[in-house]
C-alpha cells in the first residue's frame, strides 16, 4: 500500500464522546424521544449538513415541525467549543499516526476550522504535511466516497493503493465505496460492544482493538 488515510474523530481524537454528550443534551432540550446507542450508530461519521438533515427529519417525524431555526448552528458551535477546549487524543493515536512513514492524510467529516484546530492541537499537522481534508471540501459526505477520493487525488495515489482507518459504519462504507482497503478501529471509549461486527458488516477487512495494534500493522506496511 502507498498511503494511509485516517479518520479523525474517534480514531485520532476522543471527540465522539464529547459530541455525543452535547447531542444527547440537545435532543432532550428539543423534547425528542431517542435511543442513545441507536442514534450514536446512526449519526456517527456524518458531515454536519447530513447530520442536520437526519436530525431535522427525526424532529419532523416526532413533533411534526422542522427543527427550530439556528438549532444545528448552536449545537455545532457547542461541540466545537468543548472539543477544542479539551483535546483528548485516543491513547496511542499520535504514535500510530507517526508509525507509517509513507504518504498519509486525514479525511474527516468535521467542519474545516474545527478539524484543523484538532489536528494542530494533537501536534500532527506537520506529520500529515497539510493533507487534512474536511467534509467542507466535498459535495457529498460519508458514506459517499468523495472525501476519501479527494485525499487520494491530492496524495497522487490510486484509491486501491490506500488503506483507510475508520471507527464508524458511515466511514467504513465511504472507504469501501472509494475502492480502498478499510481497517476498522474499535479502541475508542465511544465504541459500542458490537462495533467490530458492525464495521466488518460495512466492509472493514480487519478490525483492530487498540492503537498499539494499528501502529504495529502500519509498521509492517512500511517494511
> Could you report the per-residue pLDDT of 136-156, keeping only the tens digit for each?
999 999 999 999 999 999 999
> Where exactly does CATH 1.10.150 map onto the chain?
16-85
Q: Of 204, 128, 214, 135, whose CA–CA distance to 168 is shortest?
A: 204
Q: Is the pLDDT of residue 88 over 90?
A: no
pLDDT value of position 138: 95
Task: Classify 90 as helix, strand or coil.
Answer: coil
**181-208 mean pLDDT:** 94
C-alpha cell at 213: 495494534
Task: Classify 170 as helix, strand or coil.
Answer: helix
> Where exactly does CATH 3.40.50.1000 map onto the chain?
3-14+88-221
Q: What angle do CA 98, 136, 157 make, to 5 degrees?
A: 45
Architecture category of domain 3-14+88-221 in CATH: 3-Layer(aba) Sandwich (3.40)
Task: Identify the burial level of 2 via C-beta atoms within 10 angstroms of its C-beta, where 0-12 means exposed, 13-18 middle and 19 or more buried.
Answer: middle
**159-175 mean pLDDT:** 96
Residue 35 banded pLDDT, cuts 50, 70, 90: confident
pLDDT value of position 33: 80
Architecture category of domain 16-85 in CATH: Orthogonal Bundle (1.10)
Mean pLDDT across the chain, nearest whole number? 90
Task: Select the more confidently predicted residue: 27 or 36.
Answer: 27
User: DSSP labels for 114-140?
Assistant: HHHHHHHHTT-TTTTTT-EEEGGGSSS
Residue 223 banded pLDDT, cuts 50, 70, 90: low
Task: Classify 186 as helix, strand or coil.
Answer: coil
Which conformational region is residue 162 in: left (phi greater than 0), alpha (psi within -120 to 50 degrees), or beta? beta
C-alpha cell at 196: 467490530
pLDDT tens track for 191-202: 888 999 999 999
pLDDT value of position 54: 84
Task: Classify 27 as helix, strand or coil.
Answer: helix
pTM score of the predicted model: 0.84
Amino acid at each position: 500500500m502507498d498511503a494511509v488515510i485516517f479518520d479523525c474523530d474517534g480514531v485520532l481524537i476522543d471527540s465522539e464522546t464529547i459530541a455525543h454528550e452535547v447531542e444527547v443534551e440537545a435532543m432532550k432540550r428539543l423534547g425528542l424521544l431517542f435511543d442513545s446507542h441507536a442514534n450514536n450508530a446512526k449519526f456517527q461519521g456524518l458531515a454536519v449538513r447530513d447530520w442536520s438533515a437526519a436530525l431535522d427529519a427525526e424532529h419532523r417525524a416526532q413533533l411534526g415541525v422542522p427543527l427550530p431555526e439556528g438549532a444545528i448552528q448552536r449545537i455545532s458551535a457547542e461541540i466545537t467549543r468543548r472539543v477544542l477546549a479539551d483535546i483528548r487524543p485516543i491513547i496511542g493515536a499520535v504514535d500510530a499516526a507517526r508509525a507509517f512513514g509513507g504518504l498519509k492524510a486525514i479525511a474527516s467529516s468535521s467542519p474545516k476550522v474545527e478539524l484543523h484546530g484538532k489536528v494542530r492541537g494533537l501536534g500532527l499537522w506537520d506529520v500529515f504535511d497539510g493533507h487534512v481534508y474536511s467534509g467542507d471540501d466535498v459535495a457529498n459526505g460519508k458514506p459517499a466516497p468523495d472525501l476519501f477520493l479527494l485525499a487520494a487525488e491530492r496524495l497522487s495515489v490510486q484509491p486501491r493503493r490506500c488503506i483507510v482507518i475508520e471507527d464508524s459504519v458511515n466511514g467504513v462504507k465511504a472507504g469501501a465505496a472509494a475502492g480502498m482497503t478499510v481497517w476498522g478501529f474499535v479502541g475508542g471509549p465511544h465504541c459500542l460492544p458490537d462495533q467490530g461486527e458492525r464495521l466488518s458488516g460495512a466492509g472493514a477487512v480487519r478490525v483492530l482493538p487498540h492503537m498499539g495494534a494499528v501502529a504495529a500493522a502500519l509498521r509492517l506496511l512500511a517494511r
